[in-house]
Structure 1
Amino acid sequence: MEIRGAVAVITGGGTGIGRATALALAEAGAAGVVAAYSRSAADAESLLPELKTLGARGLAEPADVTDDAAVRALAATARREFGRVDILVNNAGITRAVADHDLEGLSDADFHDVLDVNVIGAFRCARAFAPALRSSGGAIVNIASISGYRAGGSSIAYGVSKAALLQLTRNLASALAPQVRVNAVAPGTVATRWQTGLHGEEGFAERAREERESVPLRATARAEDVAQAVLGLLRMDLVTGESVIVDGGKHIRY
């Protein structure tokens, strides 16, 4: 895929991995970037001047991925404003921080909420954007997690949702072929606001320090590293249904 001149839509586009991906796409020459958000309006709006500096037209659009009407409105807005959509990055995600052993601490409602955003939300977006992506010969990249491969992470619900997202990636790759490629990036620990929100500033700093002492590449991933993988998959024209783990090699020693 030629990123120069492309139009991309990123859910959860105002912060963390979404923001880094938006900037990386603009730097690579994307003509338009739509940063969709559900809660982080100010963050998404603050991204627009940076995109403009890099030569891309940016839009910050509200879109709750649990609301099919809102997702379809987002797809309609993107196509109306830019005339096309080439790239969809399903980055919106939530979790519930509950220790795995605390089964009673994870309610049915928690499970449903996490699945609704992380899995069904990605499906809603793929469904709504499929016509535009088919027309442009576009691509989807889903942001999964290492938690989709192994036990662990912030909660059972989160890990199950990311495992399901990896399977959704494979199913969509088959369903949307040959016009649209669908892949995923599965980050390990990433130094973002998400992690400091879960562990606190000091707690995350200590976790990251311990991790850097053990992972093969001696580094904690940044949002920019995940964005790099997203762009790599977008450029791989004969790759679909695959997932790339971004964790400094930690998974090979689990």
Structure 2
Amino acid sequence: MTEAPVSENGRVALVTGAARGIGLGIAAWLVSEGWQVVLADIDRARGAKVAKALGESAWFLTLDVSVEADVIQCVAQILGQFGRLDGLVCNAAIADPHNKPLESLDLQQWNRVMAVNLTGPMLLAKHCAPYLRTHSGSIVNLTSTRAHQSQPDTEAYVASKGGLLALTHALAISLGPQVRVNAVSPGWIDARAPSVRRAEPLTEADHAQHPVGRAGCVEDVASMVAWLLSRNAGFVTGQEFVVDGGMSRKMIYEE
């Protein structure tokens, strides 16, 4: 018989980039575990719609994580509404890993990726930390297996995720022992909308190349994030958890 998870009822979590994909999956999972979840995203219309669909335990705020004034206002609204903050999930990112070839890479594009993917989590940690300390809270940063391996023309994204991985263990040391900080690095996660997945399913080869026999889904990531936020992970901080079906351990050579 599987032991029931520790109840997290009454706790409040902020999930950024929560209007779709992995962020939405994390928010939905936390709601199912009894959390009050604040979904934050730059997409106001979609964010408000999905938060309403999740029910009374979900609340939406518009947020550009790269703007410090917006982060400050977001945290103030959460404290005003709920009076506490127990968990922070930094998922918002410019997710397309590909950019122009290095010789043509626009500095403005590089800076925007860094601002959202790396500076954003720093700003959120900075302004959430005092309230997370009060309740022995936790931070989970969504990094990527691309922090360790690359394809051509992915410099901005890869550098931002590598930096976020390093920021994770730096924060763990600075904010401990009151606040734990960990990272989850997804591999191939099919985070498309259900209608798109049905219309354009992945191929058997897409699934078979993974040592576990399938590509990932948002629930694979969400369940790991939920565990790291929970008190069951109380002895875990400064760590990276790779959720990629074993692909980063698979030796691949062209034949």
TM-score over 0.5 for the pair? yes
> 2:3: which partner in 1?
none
Query: Aligned AA for 1:6?
Result: R
Question: Does 2:155 align with 1:156?
Answer: yes
Query: Aligned AA for 1:247?
Result: D
> 1:43: which partner in 2?
46
Query: SS of the counterpart of 2:47?
Result: helix
Query: Aligned AA for 1:17?
Result: I
Question: Does 2:247 align with 1:246?
Answer: no
> 1:14: which partner in 2?
19
Q: Once the two structures are superposed, what CA deviation does each residue of 1:91-146 show, in whole Å capped at 9, x if it has no partner? A: 0000455368x212322111111111101100000001011101111000001101
Alpha-carbon distance in 2 for matches of 1:233, 1:128: 20
Alpha-carbon distance in 2 for matches of 1:16, 1:146: 17
Alpha-carbon distance in 2 for matches of 1:176, 1:49: 34
TM-score normalized by the length of structure 2: 0.88
Q: Once the two structures are superposed, what CA deviation does each residue of 1:202-241 show, in whole Å capped at 9, x if it has no partner? A: 9xx6876433121100111111111011012123110000
Query: SS of the counterpart of 2:23?
Result: helix
Which residues of 2 match residues 190-209 of structure 1 at below 5 A?
A: 190-193=189-192, 209=204
In structure 2, relative to structure 1, the CA distance for the partners of 1:228 and 1:112 (3 Å cut) is same
Instruction: Report sequence identity in percent.
Output: 35
Q: Give the drift of 1:47.
A: 2.1
Question: Does 2:210 align with 1:211?
Answer: no
Q: Give the drift of 1:153.
A: 7.6
In structure 2, relative to structure 1, the CA distance for the partners of 1:160 and 1:230 (3 Å cut) is same
Q: Give the drift of 1:37.
A: 0.9
Alpha-carbon distance in 2 for matches of 1:153, 1:238: 38
Query: 2:99 touches 2:156 (CA, 8 Å); kept in 1?
Result: no
Query: 1:12 touches 1:37 (CA, 8 Å); kept in 2?
Result: yes
> 2:77: which partner in 1?
77
In structure 2, relative to structure 1, the CA distance for the partners of 1:115 and 1:99 (3 Å cut) is closer
> 2:119: which partner in 1?
120
Query: 1:23 touches 1:50 (CA, 8 Å); kept in 2?
Result: no
Query: SS of the counterpart of 2:15?
Result: strand
> 1:57: which partner in 2?
57
Q: Which deviates further from its counterpart, 226-235 or 174-183?
A: 226-235
Q: Once the two structures are superposed, what CA deviation does each residue of 1:22-75 show, in whole Å capped at 9, x if it has no partner? A: 110010111x2111111x2222112223332xxx52211111111100001101
TM-score normalized by the length of structure 1: 0.88
Query: 1:98 touches 1:155 (CA, 8 Å); kept in 2?
Result: yes
RMSD: 2.3
Query: SS of the counterpart of 1:178?
Result: coil
Alpha-carbon distance in 2 for matches of 1:99, 1:111: 9
Q: Which deviates further from its counterpart, 206-215 or 8-17?
A: 206-215
In structure 2, relative to structure 1, the CA distance for the partners of 1:153 and 1:179 (3 Å cut) is farther
Instruction: Give 5+ residue unaligned stretches, structure 1.
Output: 195-200
Instruction: Give 5+ residue unaligned stretches, structure 2.
Output: 1-5
Query: 2:184 touches 2:241 (CA, 8 Å); kept in 1?
Result: yes
Alpha-carbon distance in 2 for matches of 1:34, 1:117: 19
Question: Does 2:228 align with 1:229?
Answer: no
In structure 2, relative to structure 1, the CA distance for the partners of 1:242 and 1:2 (3 Å cut) is farther
| Count of residues in Structure 1 that have an aligned counterpart in Structure 2 | 242
Alpha-carbon distance in 1 for matches of 2:241, 2:153: 20
